[in-house]
Structure 1
Amino acid sequence: MTVSRVLASLALVCALAVAPAFADDISDAIDEARRAYQANDLNAAKSALDVASQLIAQRNASGLAQYLPPAPNGWQAGEAETDASTAAMFGGGVIAKRRYSMGGRDITVQLLANSPLFLQLAPMFSNAQLLGAMGRVFRVKGKTALLGRDGNIQMIVGKALIMIEGSGTETEKRSFLEALDIAAIERFGG
């Protein structure tokens, strides 16, 4: 056997070993939908595309979690939670959240992105008088935020709603808001 044949055989074995790494659940569902569509099975095609859409939303939610801040000094951070299905209650989109605790206080930072709900909320957040009727308006990193009468903070940036809730003080909640990369969250999802 020549060296070139050995190298060719080795390359083929490596290619076959690596091939499954390129496959993933999303592309598998899309391929399944394509096959069903070509067989004129539209129900199966739609079902497979629905699965692909949900898998994409889940992956997108995991990407959103990267913007949750690390625990500040003295605080403990829980695991980041992501969800694409709960966001359906808001008309779609993705959610990432994390709970932080220190002593008897807790704060939850939640990001909801790419939801059609923003088409309804965005005008409200651009009207300072309307927001003022709901609580105190303040600015963070050039963006308008609302400290609601319930003590929770909300801010819309791009296609994302930031919510900071819990039993922590206003100062603590604001420090969590300051810790967020607002510009990156605003760019998330286009």
Structure 2
Amino acid sequence: MKTLLALSLVSLAVGLPLSAQPAAPKPADPFEEGMRQAFTAYKKGDDEAVTAKLRELLKIMDAKGSAKVGATLPDMAGTWKGESLKNDDTSAIGGGASVSRTYVSGDKRVTARVVKDSPLVAQLLPIFVNDELLKISGRKIHKISGETAVMDGEDKLQIVLDQRIYVELVGEGGAGETELVSLAEKLDLSAIAKLK
């Protein structure tokens, strides 16, 4: 009887589900941990540490935003092959997310850049959506996926989405208006406009 009881206890112990084991601690979210550190430094009156930590946290958020933006620039757009994504420095335009990808087709190259959450760009965007100013400027205007796209010279196409996101396509190696408009038509402008 004792043997039977002992065997029953052993089989019960071995048969316990792994979920009954205590779960490993979840790794701390770097942003959340940084906020705690900034708050702790604030409570201690260490303004320099608070400022440094908040700058670090802004970089984390900008990187997160850049990843979302980058996901909207495909590896291939028709016959255009995309090179690697580049996170552009946005310190000169007040921060935010700016990602670009250069597309190549033969000798022609077009760099597509998407900028969002930039205070300076946000101030300039109303100029691009003002129909009267566009008419006076004499710039060529295209409708792409229902959005107004404006040529700036022969090799730059500018699009403003949702009055907060700036999209720019710049041609090189003979890529001009035709190629810029064609490539812009292959981008998912509605997905870009929905970026948060």
- Equivalent of 1:109 in 103, 107, 112: 112
Farther-moved stretch of structure 1 (180-189 vs 89-98): 180-189
Q: Whose Rg is larger?
A: 2
Change (3 A) 1:127 1:50: same
For residue 35 of structure 2, give the secondary structure of its aligned residue in structure 1. helix
1:92 is matched with which residue: 81, 89, 95? 95
Residue identity in the other structure for 1:188: L
Q: Measure how far apart 1:151 and its partner are.
A: 2.2
Residue 77 of structure 1 corresponds to 82
- Shift of residue 46, structure 1, vs aligned partner: 2.1
What is the one-letter code of the residue matched to 1:141?
S
What do the CA deviations read for 1:84-115 (whole angstroms, capped 9, x no partner)?
Answer: xx212112211011011122110100000111
Which residue does 1:175 correspond to in 2? 182
- 2:69 aligned with 1:64, yes or no? yes
- How does the TM-score come out when normalised to structure 2? 0.81
1:188 corresponds in structure 2 to 195
Residue from 133, 140, 147 that aligns with 2:144: 140
Give secondary structure in 2 for the equivalent of 1:135: coil
In structure 1, C-alpha distance between the alignment counterparts of 2:19 and 2:114, rounded to whole Å: 50
The one-letter code sitting in structure 2 at the alignment partner of 1:155 is I
1:24 matched to 2:29:
yes
Moved more, 150-159 or 124-133: 124-133
Using the TM superposition, give the Cα deviation of residue 140 of structure 1 relative to its aligned residue in structure 2, in angstroms. 1.5
Q: Which has the higher helix share?
A: 1
Is the contact made by 1:134 and 1:148 (CA closer than 8 Å) also made in structure 2?
no
**Superposition deviation, residue 75 in structure 1:** 2.9
User: What SS is found at the alignment partner of 2:76?
Assistant: coil
Are the equivalent residues in 1 in contact too, given 2:157–2:170 (CA < 8 A)? Answer: yes
SS for the counterpart of 1:19 is coil
Deviation at 1:57, TM superposition (A): 0.7
Are 1:33 and 2:43 an aligned pair?
Answer: no
Identity %: 25
Gaps of 5+ in 1: none
Following superposition, the deviation at residue 64 of structure 1 comes to 0.7
Runs of 4+ in 1 over 4 A off after TM superposition: 6-10
* Per-residue deviation, residues 26-79 of structure 1 (Å, max 9, x unmatched): 223222212212323222122112111111111111111111133234432101
Is the CA contact 1:95–1:112 (under 8 Å) kept in the aligned structure 2? yes
